[in-house]
Amino acid sequence: MKNLRGERAVCGEVNAKNAFGGYVGFTPFMYVDGASYLASGDEDYQEDFYYVYILSGCMGVSDEKEFRNQLYYEQVQQEEQIRKEQEEQARKEREEELERIKQITDQKLKEVEEKKELDRLTILEKDREFYKRKKLTATDTERREYNKQVKTFCNFLYDYYTNRIKHGFSHEDAFLTVTAAYNNMGLNSVYDSLDAVEIILQDGFERLQHNKEDYNKFVKNGAFFQGWMKGICIVQRKI
């Protein structure tokens, strides 16, 4: 026989014998590549035999062609399945890597936020201790001078809110005048640090933002809020 690829094989059937010498009926055989094969033995061997038997053209080119087409179809299906599995594996690996990066990023952000909050609380606590010491240790002269500085500084703190709420300044721009007053007008004895001033102002602004009624009143009646907020500032800070 000659298959579709021009390869030759000798095919046929023999009346084979079993292990006891008895005939078992006609069984296919083939002679290919210098070796002979018989369709006998276990199922796995027989499956391999018929695989080669058909591809060798022993069942005719029509069956061989159909079988080759089936094998090609199965190969394409297997390759497609492998491709899909590889793509799915790659997708899972990407998702796992993104999740790992996200967890690391979230953890780092959490650590940064926790440190920022700890630093913030530390600054405010130092300022509270600073104020307590002032209140406990100041002489009458020092107390009068300190309270005078508080009144002056509270004007600049009110200007911060005005610039942010009425004039739309950013925190950085509105804080410039406060910084200048703190550094250049001898007002740095009112608070423990400029960082403490900044935190207190930002906290106050956030409270105003969350209280829409007071926020709108501030916009409409700045004069009233000037007195009100300056009064609060002075009461909270004087000694």
3-state secondary structure of 36: strand
Cβ(16)–Cβ(23) below 8 Å: yes
pLDDT score of 36 more than 80: no
74 shares its domain with 142 = no
Answer yes or no: do 232 and 143 share one domain: yes
**Separation CA 29–CA 53 (nearest Å):** 8
Is 144 in the same domain as 58? no
* Position 94 in a domain: no
Residue 122 is assigned to a structural domain of this protein: no
Residue 33 has pLDDT above 80, yes or no: no
Residue 28: the pLDDT is 86
Residue 125, pLDDT score: 93
Say what the pLDDT of residue 187 is. 73
Domain annotation covers residue 194: yes
Last residue of a domain, one of 35, 60, 78: 78
Hey, which residues does 13 pair with through a beta bridge?
28
Give start and end residues of each alpha helix (H) in 138-193.
140-165, 171-184
Residue linked to tokens 């090609």: 72
> pLDDT tens digit string along 182-235?
888 777 788 888 899 899 888 888 888 888 777 777 777 666 666 777 788 888
For residue range 38-56, list pLDDT tens digits in order.
777 667 777 778 888 888 8
| Span 12-21, average pLDDT | 75
User: How many domains does the structure of the chain reveal?
Assistant: 2
73 inside domain: yes
What pLDDT sits at residue 19? 67
Claim to verify: residue 142 and residue 230 sit in the same structural domain: yes
Please tell me whether residues 143 and 223 are part of one structural domain.
yes
My answer on whether 154 and 228 are in the same domain is: yes
Looking at every residue in the chain, the average pLDDT score rounds to 84
Is the domain of 154 the same as that of 223? yes
Q: What is the pTM of this model?
A: 0.53
Considering only CA atoms, which of 170, 171, 195, 191 is closest in space to residue 233?
191
Q: How confident is the model at residue 126 (pLDDT cuts 50, 70, 90)?
A: very high
Residues 143 and 215 in one domain: yes
Residue 98: left (phi > 0), alpha (psi -120 to 50), or beta? alpha
β-bridge mates for residue 171, sequence order: none
Percent of the chain at pLDDT exceeding 70: 92
Asked if residue 95 belongs to a domain, the reply is: no
Domain ends where: 78, 107, 122? 78
**How confident is the model at residue 141, as a pLDDT?**
92
Are residues 145 and 59 part of one domain?
no
Q: What is the distance, to the nearest Å, from the Cα of residue 91 to the centroid of all Cα atoms in its chain?
A: 15
Mean pLDDT computed over 121-134: 92
Q: Does one domain contain both 61 and 144?
A: no
How confident is the model at residue 224, as a pLDDT?
64
Q: Confirm whether 54 is domain-assigned.
A: yes
Give mean pLDDT, residues 94-108: 88
142 and 69 within one domain:
no
Is 213 domain-assigned?
yes
Angstrom distance (rounded) from CA 138 to CA 77? 89
Task: Please say whether the beta carbons of 181 and 153 come within 8 A.
Answer: yes
Strand 35-38 and strand 23-32: the pairing is: antiparallel
Domain of residue 165 covers 138-237
Closest among 129, 127, 177 to 153, alpha carbons compared: 177
Of 78, 94, 119, the residue that ends a domain is 78
pLDDT (average), residues 110-117: 88
The answer to whether 230 and 154 are in contact (CB under 8 A) is: yes
Q: Which helix H or strand E contains 37, and what residues bound it?
A: strand 35-38
SS3 of 50-108: the string is HHHHHHCCCCCHHHHHHHHHHHHHHHHHHHHHHHHHHHHHHHHHHHHHHHHHHHHHHHH
Q: Is the pLDDT of residue 92 over 80?
A: yes
In a domain? residue 45? yes
Secondary structure of residue 12 in the 3-state scheme: strand
